[in-house]
Amino acid sequence: MPRHKITHLPVSERAHLNSDQLSDLNLELGPEEAETVIYRAVEALSVRLAAAHRQSQIPDYKALRASVSGIGNIAHQIGLLSLCHVAHTVVHCIDDGDPVAVSATLARLMRLSDVSLSAVWEFQDGVT
């Protein structure tokens, strides 16, 4: 019997951040107020990401769709372009009724959320 070699493909995501959007927020509100707004947005993202994870385990696609749609909207507001895009892709997969695609795109959303949130804080650290 032939032996098959299994290759592990590491998955890494890169956040695409609209730094102009965050800079504009800092200019409009000032560094302290902008940091407060961004902190609240990141907190809201974290809550929705945790909810989406729970909802995907049940699965409760109606609630999952609402959570992921909210993630996309918040991500858009603070310039997290790739997170916003992937969230909308998850919503489309839910709307298409494709549970395999939902699982795959949701896993990508979760991976991307970590690097995206880190990118926001790194940017803020450089601005303030």
**Whole-number pLDDT of residue 48:** 98
**Whole-number pLDDT of residue 71:** 98
pTM, to two decimals = 0.85
Q: Please give the span between the terminal C-alpha atoms of the chain, in angstroms, as a whole number.
A: 62
Q: Give the residue-averaged pLDDT of 37-57.
A: 96
The percent of residues in the chain predicted with pLDDT above 90, rounded, is 66
**DSSP state letters, 91-120:** HHHHHHT-HHHHHHHHHHHHHHHHHHHHHH
Q: Cα dihedral sign for 86, 92, 95, 100?
A: negative
Work out the number of other CB atoms within 10 angstroms of the CB of residue 105. 21
Higher pLDDT, 23 or 56: 56
The answer to whether the CB of 109 falls within 8 A of the CB of 87 is yes
Write out pLDDT tens, residues 92-119.
Answer: 999 999 999 999 999 999 999 989 988 8
CA 60 to chain centre: 19
Domains, the chain, ranges and CATH? 19-127 (1.20.120)
Write out pLDDT tens, residues 85-99.
Answer: 999 999 999 999 999
The answer to whether the CB of 116 falls within 8 A of the CB of 11 is no
